[in-house]
Amino acid sequence: MNMSMRLLSSAFACPTSETKQYRNVNFILSRSSVRVSSFVNKDVCNRNGRNTRVCCQLMHGHLEESYERKKKLQVSLQKPDFVRTLLIDNYDSYTYNIYQELSIINGVPPVVIQNDDWTWEELCHYLYEENAFDNIVISPGPGSPACPEDIGICLQILLECRDIPVLGVCLGHQALGHVHGAQVVHASEPVHGRLSEVEHNGCQLFHGIPSGRNSGFKVVRYHSLVIDSESLPEVLIPIAWTSTSTLPSIGSKVSDKYNGHEVQTDQSIFFDSFLPEAGNGSSNLIDYGQTRNARVLMGVKHSTRPHYGVQFHPESVATCHGNQIFKNFREITEDYWLRYRSLHNKEKRANSNAYTQVSSASRLYRDFCRSNNAEINTVDQPRKVNHGDKHLVHNNTEMNHKCLKLKWRKFDHLAGQVGGAKNIFCQLFGHEAENTFWLDSSSTDMGRARFSFMGGKGGSLWKQLSFRLSDQSDGCSKGCGFLSLEDSEGSAKTIFLEGGFLDFLNKELQSYQYDKNEYEGLPFDFHGGYVGYMGYDLKVECGATSNRYKSKTPDACFFFADNLVAIDHKNDDVYLLAIHEESSSMTEWLDDTEEKLLRLTGSTSMDLERQYSHPSTFSSHKAGFAAEQSREQYIRDVKKCLNYIKDGESYELCLTTQIRKPIEVLNSLGLYLSLRERNPAPYAAWLNFPKEDLCICCSSPERFLQLDRNDMLEAKPIKGTVARGATEEEDKQLKLKLQLSEKDQAENLMIVDLLRNDLGRVCDPGSVHVPYLMDVQSYATVHTMVSTIRGKKRSDVSAVNCVKAAFPGGSMTGAPKLRSMELLDSIESCSRGIYSGCIGFFSYNQTFDLNIVIRTIVIHEGEASIGAGGAIIALSNPEEEYEEMILKTKAPASTVIDYE
C-alpha cells in the first residue's frame, strides 16, 4: 500500500480551512454495523455473570492477504504537520477529553467511532485500503475486556493491527493484556477518581516525565480491574507501576493546563473504603493483591509491535503530565512511520503514487465533514402526527422564519425601593399565580447568581407546551411522544413528535430571526422565549436506551414567555421586556406593567408577609413523608452499587429515591416563599402549570449548563455535601473536613472529568477548562463542593444540541454516564420525574441557563414529592450514604410539614 499520504505533510492538507481549525469530523457510516465477536467465545461474558478467570484464549492469527499492508514507499524523511488518529469509544464518559487533547496535539481532530459502529471489514477498508489513519487510541470504558459487548472491535485491532501504533487507556490497556494472554483480575480495591504517584522505566511513552515517589508524576485512576503482572506473557513488557498508595486529589498542588488556578491544602483526611460483600452474582473474578500499598501495573508495551497501554487516565484534569503522554505517542507514531519508510526506499514510485493517495484521503475527510454537518444540521422532512382521530402533518416549514422584535425599558436602582424581587413578583403576578414562572436568584452571595426573571401569561406569542413520552414498551423510536400546545387565546391541540421534544425545540429556536442590536445594553441573556423544565426521563432523547418507569408528571413543560420582568441584583435595576412579531407592535403590556411597578411601595411587602406566611388551611393531623424505600432497602441498594463498581461496571453511581406526602389544599406560592426564606439558592425557581395540576418549588444550588451570548458554555456540578455546624467552630471543622475528604474529592473529580467530556463534544478543541476545582461553598443548611467547567461552543452546534450532549447532568447519573443510567434504572424503584432534570430558559436568541432539579418540592395531583440521593463510589459507606440522602430532604420536607 502506498504510504505517501502519511508522509507528504506539505501535500496532504485538510480539505477545508474549517477542518484545519479542528472541526469535529466524527461520523457514523450509514451502513449497518454489527458487534465484533468473531474471536471471542460468547460464553466468556454476559450481563448476568462472568467466568472465574478473565483471560484470553485468542489465537494470534494474521490478516488475510487482502488486508495486508502493501509495500511502504519512501519520500522525504520528514515528520508530518499533523497525525490522524482513529479514536475508539468504548461507551465511556471521558472519551472526548482524549478527543480534545489529540485535536490540539495532532493538529487535526481524531475521528471518533464507538466500538460497534464499524464491522471488521469496514475498519480494514479505512486502515489498509484508504490508509486513512496514522494511529489508533482505544478509550476507557465500563466492564471487562473479556466481555464482547464491553470491548467490541478493540480486541481484533490489538490482535491483528500489528503494524499500526495503538495506545490503550484503562479498558484499552486491559484489553492489550487480555489479547496476549495476561489475566485481568479484580484489584485489591476499586480506585476511582483518586491519585497515585507512578514510576516508569523511561521508555519513549514517558519521555520527559519524572518518575517515582515525590517526583510530581501523579495520575488519576478509574478502575476496579487490573492486569495481573505475574501473568504477563513475554511479548508484553511492564513499563509503569504505582509507587505509592492513593493520594488526595488536592494535594500541595494541582496544576494542569485546564485549570485557571491552583488549589492549596496541607493534608487529606483519609477514609478507608467500605468493602462490600462479594457475590452479587455479577462477577467471579479472582482478587489480586492483599494490601493497599501493593504495586499495581500502570503501563505495558508490546515487545515488537508499536502497541502501548496505560491503566491510569492521562486525560483527567488532575493527572500531571498527561498532555505529555499524548505528545509522546504522537512522536512514537511519527518515528515509527519514518523507520518503516526507511526500510522501503523507493522514491520514484512514491512520487508517482503520491497524488492519488492524497486525493483519496482528502475525499475521505470531506466525507467525514459532510456526514458530521448533515448530522448536526439535518432539515427534517414533514412528519405524520396524530391529533385525535385525524392524521396531521407536522411540517417544520410552518414554524420557520419568525422575525421577532424586542422592546425593553430599564429602571435604575428601583428593585429595593419597591420591596425587592419577592414583592415585585407577588404584586405583579402572585394574585393569580396560575401560568406563572419565577427563575429566582434568591441567593446572590459571593456572586453565585445575579439575575432573576419572572412573568405570567402574556401577549399574542405566549403559549404552553406539555410533552409526554410514549410508552417505551410499545417499540416506537426513542424519544417519541405527544406534545400538547395551548396558545394565548386558549386554543389547544396535541401532536405526535416522532423525533422527540428536543428535536422540536431545536427547530423552534432555529426558526426565529432577530436583530442583535435590539438587546445591546442588556446585561443578561434571557430576552424572552421558553421557560420551564425537562424531566430526567428525557434521557432517552440523549443516548439512554430506555426508561424502566414512566413519570406521572409531564416529561417537559414550558411556557413561551413574550413578556417578562428581569431584576439585576447586583445593581438593583429592574427591566421590562416584550417581544412581538415584526408585523405587530406591542407596547400596551410595557405601559401597564411600568405603571404597576412604579406604584409599588415597601408597605405592600408587609401585607404580603401576612398573606403568604400562614397556611391557607389548618389541619390538626400532619402526616409525615413516606419514603419509596425503607432505610434497609436503600442501604441494600447502595451495596448493589458498590458491587457494580467493584466489578468495573461503573466508576460512580448517583443513587436516588423519593419521599412523598398527600397534601390538603394549600397556597403553593406561599409554600415556595417559605422555602426560599429557609433555603435561599442561586438557581431557585417557581413554576405553575394549572392545566397539569402541577406546581414546582425549587431551591437548587446547582447550575447544570449555561450558554451565553458569547457562545461560552459553563457547568457547575456539585458533589460532596455536609450539614452546617451548630456552632461557628463546629461549622468550620465540618467545612474543612469536606474540603479535605478523599471520598468527596473523588466524587467531584469524576463528575468534573465527565462534564469536561460532555462539553468537549460540542466545544472548540483546547477551549474546555476548569477555572475552579472543588471549591467549598456554604449555604443555609449545608456546605457543598462545587467545580466550574467552561468551554467555547463550536459554531456548527446549536444550543439544544449542547444540552443533548450533556443531559442529564452528570452529577445526577455518575460515570460512565450511559452504563450508569442503565444500572440505576435497574436498581431504583420509580421514575425520577422532574427531579434530576433541569429548570431554566431557552432564549429566542439561542442562549440558555438551566439548573439541576434538586432540593425541590413537586406538587402534583394532591401529592408533594421530594427526590434526594447521593453519589456512590468505592469509598462509600452505606449507612453514611443513607444519612446524606436524608440530609438533602431536610429543608424542603420540613418546609412542607411546617407550612401545611
Cα separation, 417 vs 476, in Å, equals 55
The three-state secondary structure class of 270 is coil
Catalytic residue among 14, 124, 170, 641: 170
Cα separation, 875 vs 273, in Å, equals 4
Cα separation, 539 vs 612, in Å, equals 37
Angle CA(825)–CA(190)–CA(227) in degrees, nearest 5?
A: 115
Do 169 and 314 meet the contact criterion of CB atoms below 8 Å apart? yes
The 8-class DSSP code of residue 118 comes to S
Sign of CA dihedral 24, 29, 33, 36: negative
Cα separation, 461 vs 855, in Å, equals 32
User: What pairing do the DSSP bridges indicate for beta strands 437-440 and 451-455?
Assistant: antiparallel
Cα separation, 94 vs 750, in Å, equals 9
Catalytic residue among 315, 334, 508, 747: 315
Q: Is 315 a catalytic residue?
A: yes
The three-state secondary structure class of 639 is helix
Do 818 and 787 meet the contact criterion of CB atoms below 8 Å apart? no
Angle between the 742-760 and 95-106 helix axes, to the nearest 10 degrees? 60
Do 141 and 150 meet the contact criterion of CB atoms below 8 Å apart? yes
Q: Is 122 a catalytic residue?
A: no
Cα separation, 277 vs 718, in Å, equals 29
- Residue 783 Ramachandran class (φ > 0 left, ψ -120 to 50 alpha, else beta): beta
The 8-class DSSP code of residue 691 comes to G
Say how many C-beta atoms besides its own lie within 10 A of residue 84's C-beta. 26
The three-state secondary structure class of 194 is strand
Do 328 and 314 meet the contact criterion of CB atoms below 8 Å apart? no
First and final CA of the chain: distance in angstroms?
78
- Residue 363 Ramachandran class (φ > 0 left, ψ -120 to 50 alpha, else beta): alpha
Q: Which residues make beta-bridge pairs with 533? A: 557, 839
Would you call 342 exposed, middle or buried from its count of C-beta atoms within 10 A (0-12, 13-18, 19+)?
Answer: exposed
Q: Is 313 a catalytic residue?
A: yes
The amino acid at residue 735 is K
Cα separation, 71 vs 2, in Å, equals 7
Do 514 and 406 meet the contact criterion of CB atoms below 8 Å apart? yes
User: What pairing do the DSSP bridges indicate for beta strands 712-716 and 703-707?
Assistant: antiparallel
Kindly give, in sequence order, each residue whose CB lies less than 8 Å from that of residue 728, ignoring residues fewer than 6 positions away: none
Name the CA dihedral angle for 48, 52, 58, 59, rounded to a multiple of 10 degrees.
-150
Cα distances from 467 to residues 26, 534, 809, in angstroms, run: 31, 9, 20
Cα separation, 675 vs 613, in Å, equals 11
Catalytic residue among 180, 192, 223, 313: 313
Do 812 and 656 meet the contact criterion of CB atoms below 8 Å apart? yes
Closest CA to 841 of 501, 505, 411: 505
Cα separation, 601 vs 420, in Å, equals 10
Cα separation, 400 vs 663, in Å, equals 44
Do 196 and 221 meet the contact criterion of CB atoms below 8 Å apart? yes
Q: C-alpha grid cell for residue 306? A: 508499536
Do 838 and 853 meet the contact criterion of CB atoms below 8 Å apart? yes
Do 232 and 300 meet the contact criterion of CB atoms below 8 Å apart? yes
Q: Which residues are catalytic?
A: 170, 313, 315
